[in-house]
Chain A
């Protein structure tokens, strides 16, 4: 401890001021984290016996998986074709439907009750992971690509609708005022003052959504909604690990290519 009366000869100390100034809060945060970790690891049901078998199993799976087998290429092709079709149709439907929902969910251009309805639709469709939605649609309309299309349409409405609504809320209001001043009606104002301003964003989002629908179409198949995911699930279930790994590799390749294309198109249009 240095005391001021020691004067100029006193050794001066300096410490970095802590990130959180209040020491109680600082140590409290660490304590909280430690407590959380103990609680979480303590209560989670780990089946250590079964986990112990993991390594030999992993060896068997990867041993059986290499080299990947492309022998059933026709099955692979059918699965991917269906995934593409699901992604394309769902993107088209989803993007078209997302426009009215985005308008409804934009605070600045609709009355409050309409806004609340639009917002609720978007929140609900965004809250559920596509796989959960897919399970419900499979239960409602049966196995197959129809459930996949419906699922990804809902998914697209949630995602594109939300971002588009935010874009609408940030438009330059002067253009809307100018159109109103000419005596234009509500829809004409929408088409002249609102849509041109959000168009570049809309096109970019559509491309992005096509890409993410293609990704998602690979997983909704796991719960029976059509596409390559179903083929993958079957291969896994029958311990056909070499075929499963072949499917995985192709999925990765397709995703990389589609990401590249969608990024390129978005850059072009911007």
Chain B
């Protein structure tokens, strides 16, 4: 269970990016976080694994307070939090397998890391996960030789190698074409239920958020202004989140050619 309470992040003396944010995620739910650029989505995710230092507030993962951790304790906490990045952030010059095994860096010692002598179970796990997402045949290819969708799969597997208790995904589909990004969303959705893992996804694409996640959280200017099921995510909520700032990438209303998955679920009730 991930509990965020009264989270504040302020860069320098500017207006806080996050203003006393509260959020609780339980069980294996897939939560999407929507909001305009600069609403604080990315900062919130990065506060959870402390790539960004929160100014104040509390973040607890399965009872452990993350905000106060330092050094080795912080690294032990981080390995329980998987993260998938928008730009994939793979180590381009290393092979796919090395990138995947890098997910175990929080567990192995320095000698094992440098000499690539990972425990047998890790390699086994790596193969299993790569087979699951369909990239096992690329194991010895260099990461920069792969296509965008394949690279993001490597990123997902790397995060899962950590045996995480929660998975964070920061705009995982923003650098991908529409078709590939749907595949990645489906993958995240099914992995969440297979591994009974809570997943937090920052996403710009509201249509995908509605289709592939069970809960939508809307942020605006560092405050949560919507929290509910996709079906409750009305036109009003959308306007409240994005209104007057910018239009989201893809509006859920009256798409000329709605993706098949969305049609299955029925059109949003505010469709004209």
Contact = CB atoms under 8 A, between A and B. Distances in A.
Interface string A171-204: 0101101111111110111011100110110000
Contacts of B102: 178-179, 182, 184, 192
Given A177-B85, A199-B93, A182 B78 contact: yes
Interface in B72-101: 72, 75-83, 85, 87-94
User: Which among A177, A178, A179, A192 has the greatest number of chain B C-beta atoms within 10 A?
Assistant: A178
A177 B51 contact: yes
Given A179-B102, A191-B113, A184 B75 contact: yes
Given A178-B83, A192-B91, A196-B93, A183 B113 contact: no
A54 B82 CA distance: 77
B113 A178 contact: no
Kindly state the interface size class of chain B when it binds its partner: 35 or more
Contacts of B91: 175, 178-179, 192-193, 196-197
Interface residues of A, number: 22
B146 to A, nearest CB: 15
B78 A188 contact: no
A29 to B, nearest CB: 43
A224 B114 CA distance: 42
| Residue of B75, B82, B92, B105 most packed against chain A (CB within 10 A) | B105
Contacts of A200: 93
B106 interface: yes
26 contacts: A174-B87, A174-B88, A175-B91, A177-B89, A178-B83, A178-B89, A178-B102, A180-B51, A181-B81, A181-B82, A181-B159, A182-B106, A182-B158, A182-B161, A183-B78, A183-B106, A184-B75, A184-B102, A185-B110, A187-B110, A188-B110, A189-B105, A191-B114, A192-B94, A196-B92, A199-B93
Given A178-B83, A191-B110, 8 more contacts: A178-B85, A178-B91, A180-B78, A181-B49, A181-B159, A183-B106, A183-B162, A192-B113
